[in-house]
Amino acid sequence: MRNIVRAVEVNKYFDNFHALKDVSLEVNYGEVMCILGPSGSGKSTFLRCINQLEKVDRGGIWIDNELAGYRIAGNKLHPLSDRQIARQRLQTGMVFQRFNLFPHKTALENVIEGPCRVLLRPKREATEEAMALLERVGLSNKAHAYPQALSGGQQQRVAIARALAMKPKLMLFDEPTSALDPEMVGEVLAVMRTLAKEGTTMIVVTHEMGFAREVASQVVFMDEGRIIERGAPEDILLNPQNPRMQNFISAIL
C-alpha cells in the first residue's frame, strides 16, 4: 500500500517546551486519519509540521516518499531552498478552524486565486474547475458572494473548495467545525464525508466523534505531545484503554 504520509519519531520544541515527542504514524493513499486529544496536546503543531508551517527539530516527515524540507544526497541531508519548500507545501491542502478567506474577494475569486497565481493556470480553466468545486461543496449559487455575506458554514465550505483547487495529495483539517454555530456543523461534515468517500486522503483533527467513527480508517489520540493510543475507530472510541482517553471521551460525549 502506498503511503502519502510517513512521520518518523517527529520531535518539536518551542524553546524549552517539548511540543511533539516521537510522533510516528503512516497514512496510506485514500485513508482518513482522525486525530483526537485535549487542547494543547500538539495536534495543530503536528499538522503544521506536516505542511511545513513549522520545522521539525528531530525525526522526519515524508510526503509521498519525499522527505519534507530536505534533499538527501550521498549520505547527507541538505536543507531545501524556500522555493523548493514552497513546491513541497503544494502537496498538502489545509483547512483551519477559522476560514481565512480573502475578505475583498468573492467565493469564486478566493478559489481561483491559488490556481491562477501560484500554479499559473489560465483564468478560464481555473474558473471552470472552481465552479465545479463550488458545486461539489453545494455553493454554486454563491460563487459571486463575498465572505461577509456567507454564513460560517458556507465560508468553511469555500475554504475547502479553495484548498481542493490546488489538487493536493493530502488534505489537512484542523478542527474545521469548532468555530461554527452548531447548526452549521453538519453541512461541513457532510462535505468532508463526501470527500472521504471519494477517496481523498485526509488527516482530520476533530472532536466530532460521530464523524470519526463513521469516516476514519484510523484514529490516534494525542496527549502532552505524544500519541498514546491508536487503532481502528470502533476499538479506540468504544473501548479506549488509556484512562486519559477514557476521560476525554466521556467529557465530550
User: From ligand ADP, Mg ion, none, which one binds at residue 218 (CB under 5 to 8 Å depending on kind)?
Assistant: none
110 makes contact with Mg ion (CB under 5 A): no
Q: Residue 244 — φ and ψ, nearest 5°? A: -65, -35
Strand 58-63, strand 3-14: pairing:
antiparallel
Residues 199/216, Cβ–Cβ less than 8 Å: no
Please report which residue ranges of 77-181 form alpha helices under DSSP H: 82-89, 107-117, 123-136, 152-164
Q: Residues 80, 101, 209, CA angle at the centre, nearest 5°?
A: 85
Residues 68/41, Cβ–Cβ less than 8 Å: no
51 makes contact with Mg ion (CB under 5 A): no
Which residue number, 81 or 242, has a Cβ lying nearer to ligand ADP? 242
37 makes contact with ligand ADP (CB under 6 A): yes
As a whole number of angstroms, the distance between CA 194 and CA 134 comes to 14
Which residue number, 14 or 102, has a Cβ lying nearer to ligand ADP? 14
Interacting residue with ligand ADP among 27, 33, 44, 191 (CB under 6 A): 44
CB of 205 to ligand ADP, least distance (A): 7
19 makes contact with ligand ADP (CB under 6 A): yes
As a whole number of angstroms, the distance between CA 61 and CA 70 comes to 10
Cell of 109: 475569486
CB of 113 to ligand ADP, least distance (A): 26
Number of residues binding to ligand ADP, judged by CB under 6 A: 11
206 makes contact with Mg ion (CB under 5 A): no
Q: Choose the binding region for Mg ion from 26-34, 39-47, 50-58, 143-151 (rule: CB under 5 A).
A: 39-47
Q: Residue 93 — φ and ψ, nearest 5°? A: -110, 140
Of the candidates 153, 150, 48, 63, the one whose C-alpha atom is nearest the C-alpha of residue 108 is 150
106 makes contact with Mg ion (CB under 5 A): no
As a whole number of angstroms, the distance between CA 5 and CA 17 comes to 25
User: In the chain, how many H helices and how many E strands?
Assistant: 9, 12
> Is residue 150 classed as helix, strand or coil in its secondary structure?
coil
User: From Mg ion, ligand ADP, none, which one binds at residue 41 (CB under 5 to 8 Å depending on kind)?
Assistant: ligand ADP
177 makes contact with Mg ion (CB under 5 A): no
45 makes contact with ligand ADP (CB under 6 A): yes
End-to-end Cα distance, the chain: 34
44 makes contact with Mg ion (CB under 5 A): yes
Q: Choose the binding region for Mg ion from 8-16, 42-50, 212-220, 224-232 (rule: CB under 5 A).
A: 42-50
43 makes contact with ligand ADP (CB under 6 A): yes
Interacting residue with ligand ADP among 40, 79, 199, 210 (CB under 6 A): 40
User: From Mg ion, ligand ADP, none, which one binds at residue 52 (CB under 5 to 8 Å depending on kind)?
Assistant: none
Q: Which residues bind ligand ADP (CB under 6 A)?
A: 14, 17, 19, 37, 39-45
Q: Which residues bind Mg ion (CB under 5 A)?
A: 44
